[in-house]
Structure 1
Amino acid sequence: MKLPRPLSHSSISLYQECPQKYKFKYIDKIPEKPRHFFSFGQSVHLALEYFYGVKVPEPPSLADVLKNYKEIWVSGGYKDKFQEEEYFEEGRRILTEFHAKHTKDYHVPFFVEYAFNFEVDGVPVTGRIDRVDKLPDGKLSVLDYKTGKKLATGRLEIDAQLTMYQLACERMLGAEVGELVFYHLPTLKQHRAARRPPALVEELTARIVTTAQSITQEKFDPKPAESVCRWCDYKPICPIFKDQSAGMTSAPARATGEPELAALVDKYGAALAAVEAAKRDAEKAGMELSSVLKKKGYVRAFGAAYEVGLVPAVKWEFTDKKKVLEIIKSAGAYEKVLAPSAPLVNKLLEDKGTDANLRARLTELGERVETPELKIKPL
């Protein structure tokens, strides 16, 4: 078969993670669910493209940047309006601080959102670079924006995406790359690495070619891994997991004759979502209320329907809980803090490695009851 599309850093990474997942996405064209962190990253990237997308060295005003940010905001994947609002405000903060910092050294980049297409030994490769600047010595500075809360700076020197960007720039733009940069936007910190050595570039080109060969040879065996499969949208149709539900009966969908059951499923899911949203609203309101009460020095306050009191409380937190228990036990006070935890006892009884005598003694004290749990998620 032919490649379904040119290879990119993300598609190569996806194939290496799980060939079956690559097939589902790029060959079977089964879309994944939107993710809020992708939507947030896209929104901030688009706003920075607007900031640097001018033709004259005069930056847009902060008001214009924030107005554009609101207009291009990508809202897919957020679990509720509360989370979306939280991320929207974080984006505003990032853009406001970015604008304040970089209007001082504003310049028109060499390229903004530079799209590249070229071939590696006959294999088509594509991608898009957030920004390319020209350094004083004529070499290129390649910048990749990062919007995640944490940045794995340890991979900066070997990151394959930056290596691909260097390869693309030097082939397409005819200039040597002087530095590769991860720009962590939440902290406005730039993490720089020197130009990649030939060995890393050769390693990448070999990976591009071997990945293309495997795809054209239709090698799509799944690579199960708990950390990957746990969050995979394709798990229900994956050959690794489809046997888990073999022999189990599923109710027909709403359209095939069970509208009452479908309505109950939706009602239950909507109620749970409302409870979670209410909890978050209550936590937010509680934090605001506590802050105001403390600021005013009040311990009680009244509304039209409710009264609230600010009760002093102390909470100790420990990092080494094992050491804490050892100290308490050595002081003869272990029984005062030890209580049977139902989840831990259940786990102990269901563990095949548990001592038979211990299991028997615990079994005499309790009764094993089947308690299936409902697990629901939005469609």
Structure 2
Amino acid sequence: MSELPRSFSHSSASTFKQCPRRWKHKYIDKLPDPTGEAALVGQFAHDVLEQLCKEEPELRTEEKAKEIAGTIWPKVAERKDFKSLELNSDEQLKFRWKSWNAIKGLWDLEDPSMISVEATEQRVSTSLSGVPFLGIIDRLDRDEDGLIVVDYKTGKIPKYGNDNFNQVLLYAAAVAGKTGEQPTRARLLYLGKETKETEVSVDLLEKAVSDLSGTWGKLKSNLDNNEFETITTPLCGWCSFIAQCPAGTEFIKKRASSGKLRPDAPARSALGL
């Protein structure tokens, strides 16, 4: 029987809720889980904006962001995950343009020279309702009302639900637990698209922490019984562990035979479809 992890992040909790078996392969079996192109674009943009927001406010310009991106790019190009994408020169150029469009998308949402930034990439580790929570906050801002938790997003804006606020609300709960100061707002910056924001109330924090605690309890039960359910969805087509998952393999093969599997799904090559 495997032990509970020493820490539990929002990402880890989300993976478990999406598919307990995927969580097991990633966090217990530690099978290879290469970072995809979209995630690497996001990481590149995050790294640039982190460095940008460490600059004095008057230096937070698009020109400075380009300079930082040029400095960081060689390190990105040498990453194992990036090399595994095997992009040709044209595809690499497209990757850089995607990244730059995300970076400059910040100015569509705010003027970073006018933001009072308290911290970037702030690591928070604390117990939330008995759960050893760990998170890294993209940015902590302060205005006349108090602290604001900010998270950058480079993906699509979800059509339904407010689950994405759970992440920043958990960060807010962790900040409150560590510092004694409860943030007043939590903000999602969908770079180049729009800003989504919520006030941080005790009720919302309790709801987010309760959800995390419930997921932690289900994980403990799975570990105790060594049983990890497979939840099949169209996202199985992008799962790194599809070849190790009989139920997922059967599901994807059926989708492929019915013409429902997207041509760019990595599961096609992983399963020889």
TM-score bucket of the superposed structures, by smaller chain: 0.7 to 0.9
Amino acid at match of 2:133: V
How many angstroms apart in 2 are the aligned matches of 1:165 and 1:112? 13
Identity across aligned pairs (percent)?
22
Q: Which amino acid in structure 1 is aligned with residue 97 of structure 2?
A: E
Cross-structure match for 1:18? 19
For residues 162-186 of structure 1, the C-alpha deviation after alignment (integer angstroms, 9 at most, x for no partner) is 2212211221232222221111113
Say whether 1:71 aligns with 2:74.
Answer: yes
Q: How far did residue 22 of structure 1 move? A: 0.8
Q: Using the TM superposition, give the Cα deviation of residue 86 of structure 1 relative to its aligned residue in structure 2, in angstroms.
A: 0.9
Q: Which residue in the other structure is 2:30 paired with? A: 29
1:177 is matched by which residue type in structure 2?
Answer: P
- The residue identity in structure 2 corresponding to 1:115 is R
Give, in angstroms, the shift of residue 232 of structure 1: 1.9
Alignment partner, residue 233 of structure 2? 226
Q: What's the Cα RMSD here?
A: 3.2
Task: Give the structure, 1 or 2, with the largest relative contact order (CA under 8 Å, sep 6 or more).
Answer: 2
Structure 2: state its 5+ residue gaps: 252-256, 259-267
Distance 1:213 1:62 in 2: 43
> Please, which runs of 5 or more residues in structure 1 have no aligned partner?
245-345, 348-374
Q: Which amino acid aligns with 1:233?
A: S
Paired position in structure 2 for 1:114: 122
1:99/1:236 CA distance change after superposition, 3 Å = same
CA distance in 1 between counterparts of 2:220 and 2:109 reads 48
Name the residue aligned to 1:247.
Answer: none
| Contact 1:140/1:177 (8 A) holds in 2 | yes
Give the structure 2 partner of residue 46 of structure 1: 47
8 Å Cα contact 2:137-2:171 kept in structure 1: yes
Alpha-carbon distance, 1:78 to partner? 3.6
Question: Shift of the alpha carbon at 1:140?
Answer: 1.1
2:165 is matched with: 159
CA distance in structure 2 between the aligned counterparts of 1:100 and 1:202, rounded to whole angstroms: 33
Residue 199 (structure 2) aligns with: 194
SS in 2 for 1:3: coil
Decide whether aligned partners of structure 1 residues 72 and 143 sit closer, same or farther in structure 2, where only a CA change above 3 A counts.
Answer: farther
* 1:236-263 deviations in Å (ceiling 9; x for gaps): 212535789xxxxxxxxxxxxxxxxxxx
Distance 1:229 1:123 in 2: 28
Q: Match of 2:184, SS?
A: strand
SS at match of 2:123: strand
Q: Distance in 2 between matches of 1:58 and 1:192?
A: 25
- Maintained 8 Å contact 1:140/1:178: yes
TM-score w.r.t. the length of structure 1 is 0.57
Decide whether aligned partners of structure 1 residues 222 and 91 sit closer, same or farther in structure 2, where only a CA change above 3 A counts: same
User: How far apart are the structure 2 equivalents of 1:184 and 1:231?
Assistant: 22
Asked if the contact 1:130/1:144 (under 8 Å) is kept, the reply is yes
TM-score by length of 2: 0.76
2:51 touches 2:68 (CA, 8 Å); kept in 1?
yes
2:94 is aligned with what amino acid?
E
Pick closer, same or farther for the CA change 1:166–1:63 going to 2, 3 Å. closer
Aligned residue in 1 for 2:264? none
CA gap of 1:230–1:239, structure 2 versus 1, over 3 A, is same
Cα contact 2:148–2:187 (8 A) shared by 1: yes
Alpha-carbon deviations, 1:115-138, whole Å to 9, x = none?
11001233211011111101113x
Is residue 177 from structure 1 mapped to residue 178 from structure 2 by the alignment? no
Tell me how far apart the structure 2 counterparts of residues 29 and 119 of structure 1 sit (CA, whole Å): 25
Aligned counterparts of 1:169 and 1:73: Cα–Cα separation in 2? 30
Amino acid corresponding to residue 131 of structure 1 in structure 2: R
Q: How many residues align?
A: 246
